[in-house]
Amino acid sequence: MTLGSKELKNFIDEQAIAQTIEATNNPAPSKVREILAKSREAKGLTIEETSVLLQADDPELRAELFSTAREVKKAIYGNRLVLFAPLYITNECGNRCAYCGFNVENKDLERRTLTDEEIRREVYALEDMGHKRLLLVYGEHPRFGADWMADTIRVVYDTVSEKSGEIRRVNINCAPQEVEGFRKLHEAGIGTYQCFQETYHRATYESLHKGGRKKDFLWRLHAMHRAMEAGIDDVGMGALFGLYDYRFEVLGLLAHAAELEKHFGVGPHTLSFPRLEPAQNAEIAYHPPCPIPNERFKQMVAVLRLAVPYTGLILSTREEPTLRRSLLDLGVSQLSAGSRTYPGAYSDPAYDRPEVQQFCVGDNRSLDEVIREVVGQGWIPSWCTACYRLGRTGEHFMELAKKGFIQEFCKPNALLTFKEYLQDYATAPTRAAGDALVEREVEDFPEARRDLIASRLQRIAQGERDLYI
Ligand code: SAM
Ligand code: SF4
């Protein structure tokens, strides 16, 4: 039985977090180095250790932190980068989130909810670009419940283009549901359920959410509990950075992850760390009360990589290209590209539409441009969905990941999906750069594996699709 939110407990111990931040301020270099040494074992960090690393201010220590994060990222994830795009289904919303352009009080926003036909058009446009993994995004409106969302998910899966293939994984970012509602979303075949707490600091949360269902802090805080109770074992958490002290938010995220692990034996599959971007009629989005500067942001990503080594870290197009580039080797494992932030955007020839979009994106480049750049830096773009389709999710995935499975299976699968991209969607310069990378990477495998991968690549070149190990 689900608890009413009056009976729910705030498991974020604000006082303890504040005290930890205070007690670990300006840490001794020896302490920082001791924690960095422990981080290399990739077993994760405590809240206190994380707080120490977040507050290591000395440039030399920060450089050591960055190089440790790079080592751990490389050891666990290798040089793969998972790519996806958001697909906005509705911008209608009954909530009053002070920072969001979809806020019900924003009367200048053109409201739009996609029909099935419009969803299909968007999906075809995304498939033509080469996307295989989508994140569906929804405003929260009483008219749109779990049944309706489940239908939209099915429409996306059913939209298969003869020319450009199909979407293989649908993740969603939508308002918290009752357990029953989550069950319906699970049955519709979602991959990850994603929902951001925005801020773990309750008074700040309550001052920014003055109306609608979302104003209830505890209801949102327990969203992942309900999702997991409904059988969704891949959940994605996050905080919206800029609203409150970033150190508090990071420790809040870890406390939340620990709580899930305690109850369900598994923490979040991914973490996101969106920063506030300008949004129509949302004053606070233009002037964040607690902005986090780029260097700090980089440090935070590196620390997260060490604190939760096996949790995916997601970077959106809110950030601009230069910063995005520098965050990849520090820890990011999933990247959105070619994103548009309003319903109907991908089949809309006019790009820039402040009157409908949620917020301004910082990286406007196309998927192909982003791919060409990351390939130039040695990253293998991946659209692999094998684990999820073979039931290797949640706790089961974490167990496998810890046994070096990522290198043995994920990297070959990344190469296979990338080869499909190169064959079907890439521009000529991207294809040339990509094929050269694939060839180099295959050479690096031990002989037995190399032959298997080479023969699968050959089959893809000859027209077979959706091959994975
Ligand atoms: N309506 C659902 C909700 O609030 O959970 C899901 C969709 S909402 C559009 C997705 C996320 O966008 C929010 O959780 C919030 O973190 C983020 N967001 C809202 N306004 C933003 C802004 N101005 N800049 C960056 N991210 C923003
Ligand atoms: Fe609505 Fe979500 Fe935007 Fe809040 S953040 S106004 S709930 S779409």
In this predicted model, what pLDDT tens digit does every residue of 258-315 receive, in sequence order? Answer: 999 999 999 999 999 999 999 999 999 999 999 999 999 999 999 999 999 999 999 9
Which residue do the tokens 């939340």 mark? 256
Gap from CA of 314 to ligand 1 centroid (Å): 14
157: three-class secondary structure by DSSP: helix
Predicted local distance difference test score (pLDDT) of residue 6:
61
Ligand 1 mutation pick, 100, 104, 177, 182, max ligand atoms within 8 A of CB: 100
DSSP 111: P
Q: Which CATH superfamily does the domain covering 80-387 fall into?
A: Aldolase class I (3.20.20.70)
Considering every ligand atom shown, identify the ligand nearest to the alpha carbon of residue 282 and give its number.
Answer: 1
pLDDT recorded at residue 404: 64
Q: Is the pLDDT of residue 147 over 60?
A: yes
Whether ligand 2 lies within 6 angstroms of the CB of 95 is answered as yes
318: Cβ below 6 Å to ligand 2? no
H/E run at residue 382: strand 380-382
Q: What is the mean pLDDT of the chain?
A: 93
Q: What is the pLDDT of residues 367-412, one digit of tens each?
A: 999 999 999 999 999 998 887 777 776 666 666 666 567 777 889 9
| pLDDT band per the 50, 70, 90 thresholds, residue 1 | very low
Query: For residue 173, which ligand has an atom nearest its CA?
Result: 1
* Whether the CB of 90 sits within 6 Å of ligand 2: no
CA-CA distance, 60 to 50, in Å (whole number)? 18
In ligand 2, the atom with minimum distance to the C-alpha of 96 is 6
pLDDT digits (tens, 9 = 90+) for 325-367: 999 999 999 999 999 999 999 998 776 676 777 777 889 899 9
Q: What is the mean pLDDT of residues 168-184?
A: 98
Which of 42-46, 172-176, 325-329, 464-468 is the least confident region? 464-468
Ligand 2 pocket mutation pick from 89, 92, 97 by most atoms within 8 angstroms of CB: 97
Average confidence (pLDDT) over 221-237: 97
To the nearest 5 percent, what fractions of the chain are helix, strand and coil? 50, 10, 40
Q: Are 266 and 232 in contact (CB under 8 A)?
A: no
Q: Whose CA is nearest to atom 8 of ligand 1?
A: 139
Domain ranges of the chain: 11-73, 80-387, 402-461
Ligand 2 pocket: which of 96, 103, 357 to mutate (most atoms <8 Å of CB)? 103
Which protein residue's CA is at the shortest distance from atom 1 of ligand 1? 139
Q: Is the CB of 240 under 6 A from ligand 1?
A: yes
* 8 Å CB contact between 55 and 315: no
Ligand 2 atom having least distance to the Cα of 93: 1
Pocket test for ligand 2, best of 88, 91, 92, 93 (most atoms within 8 A of CB): 93
Whole-structure pTM value:
0.95
Calpha distance 45→222 (Å, rounded): 23
